[in-house]
Structure 1
């Protein structure tokens, strides 16, 4: 099912950050936060292979994955996107931030743009996220973004859903 009818990858511009497609030139800076199926890239080559899979997932309508870019410096500070459930009108929202940008509001700004895109452009009926029960910063982020805890999962993770 093709959910994305865009002739180009959606670029979203906010006041502080923008969301854009990740390019090969970005991969050197993103190795430490490059993941696919919970496996972290160890080399630029692995990050490129993972990004190719992510790009194919987008073309197949299964996910959308953006780089979060600081509008002032034009540097990628993290990533976010929807990774599961789009075929059911839902989306699991995930994110990763480079450590040097923790606590500076970048993820809140990026996730806000992604949520707006999910609700208003994709028309998602449900947005959820899962995190480790010990990941205090992620829990605070989700609660700040109006997510409500909905489940304790078996593997030590907790699930949150965007409140109505």
Structure 2
């Protein structure tokens, strides 16, 4: 049913993944001394206290949208729990792949300015991905609990 707890977890996972559009996943200072940030939409530079887009990441933007839509679509598959479980596993794999993609984008950007990738450069966006995986795992547990309840009700009939 759509009003189960896994619906909340899946919706929260979607919101957390969409948070990548708001929070940067990399903060660094370039060779000139300008503060720069990497979002999934592109590279932004701080010029006169305003964010100016330097480079655009269209494929990463589309990939993030697809990754965010899979948990949202999973919510509406409530009549087919087996498909929901497969979609959640797919979501977890896609989130991990997005994280790897973001990591390689961040390291390649930092290599251009000969700076190492460290804890001082990590933005909030990198921490959103593990939160999304945890929320997806909690939704998976809720679906499995429902499946177990349905099987026990079928035995009683």
**TM norm structure 2:** 0.32
Structure whose CA Rg is larger: 2
Greater helix proportion: 2
Q: Which has the higher contact order (CA 8 A, sep 6+)?
A: 2
Greater strand proportion: 1
**TM norm structure 1:** 0.31
